[in-house]
Amino acid sequence: MYVHKSVLLNEAIENLNINPDGIYVDATTGGGGHSKEILKRLKNGHLYCFDQDDYAISRANEVLSEVGSNYTFIKSNFVNLKSELNKLGVDRIDGILYDLGVSSFQLDIPERGFSYNYDAPLDMRMNQESEVTAEYIVNNYSLEELSNIFYRYGEDPNSRMVAKGIVETRKNKKISTTFELVEVIKKSLPQKVLNSKGHPAKRIFQALRIAVNDELRVFEVSINDALDMLNKDGRAVVITFHSLEDRICKVVFKERSTVNVPKGLPINNIKEADYELVNKHPILPSDEELEYNNRAHSAKMRVIKKR
């Protein structure tokens, strides 16, 4: 049964510092938990909700319709943030929220193929109209390509071992389901790795999901576009769930909030950066939240403001 629990909900809303008459964007609407709280605080403002998943839009619309009507759904990947908002006459915004990674319902609905805990087709598409699935990647990419994906996106030290196991297995039989892939992963790893903490397929599944949905590239493009669109005092709030996303966020925020002054040059009036970090260190879930929401454990939140 799908149960939606928004991560860092109170902290995200507090740090958006919502103007009741402002224009806000939820770049990752999902089940609508964050959107609902943003909408509650708007009077004459408007909320634009991005998601590329029909099921998510349907569920979120049920949630938001109980709160108000000043919201618009945009069925698109948030990489298209700027162009899609421009189509609607919006070129400036007062705040944006990214809750990155896979949504709870995508993990909890077996047939979506995101989870190694359910036997299902190897899918992993956030946008089900996309052509590339995890099954396609697993059965068609070369040894080098698979190894690179597992290492870069899963940071898995056993990436080549698993890639070899996949390539050998698919010579005789196509790998079509999540459990078939889990079995290949387990057979490819030495016992000491299998005995270590955590599920042996976790990093591989993460890497495949990121590759299928091109998650890191689209986030970097989108967050830069979003920052360009912020009004004065506007804020961007980003919740990440693994080091790759967080690293991109950290680097972009640092670049935007820093003025590079060449060493040795006598400069008296140094112009301030156009942006400033609201929190120098990431905000983490409270102990209370960690008790009732297991998926909050790896969450980190960063916030930046336009001066």
Residues 246-293 have pLDDT tens digits of 999 999 999 999 987 666 666 666 788 999 999 989 999 999 999 988
Cα–Cα distance for residue pair 228/212, rounded to 1 Å? 27
Q: pLDDT value at position 142?
A: 98
Q: Give the residues of the chain that fall short of pLDDT 70.
A: 1-4, 104-105, 261-269
Question: What confidence score (pLDDT) does residue 107 get?
Answer: 73
CATH fold of 9-99+215-306: Rossmann fold (3.40.50)
- CB atoms inside a 10 Å sphere around CB 265: 6
pLDDT at 3: 53
CB 204 within 8 A of CB 156: yes
**Domain spans, the chain:** 9-99+215-306, 112-213
Q: What pLDDT, on a 0 to 100 scale, did the predictor assign at position 1? A: 42
Backbone dihedral region of 159: left (phi > 0), alpha (psi from -120 to 50 degrees) or beta?
A: alpha
Does this model's pTM top 0.85? My answer is yes
Contact 105, 235 (CB under 8 A): no
What is the fold of 112-213? DNA polymerase; domain 1 (1.10.150)
DSSP assignments along the chain, one per residue:
------TTHHHHHHHHT--TT-EEEETT-TTSHHHHHHHHT-SS-EEEEEES-HHHHHHHHHHHTTT-S-EEEEES-GGGHHHHHHHTT---EEEEEEE-S--HHHHHSGGG---TTS--BS---SSTT-S--HHHHHHHS-HHHHHHHHHHHH--TTHHHHHHHHHHHHTTS---BHHHHHHHHHHHS-HHHHTSSS-TTHHHHHHHHHHHHTHHHHHHHHHHHHHHHEEEEEEEEEEESSHHHHHHHHHHHHHHT-----TT---SSPPPPSEEES-SS-B---HHHHHH-GGGTT-EEEEEEE-
Q: What is the predicted pLDDT for the residue at 2? A: 47
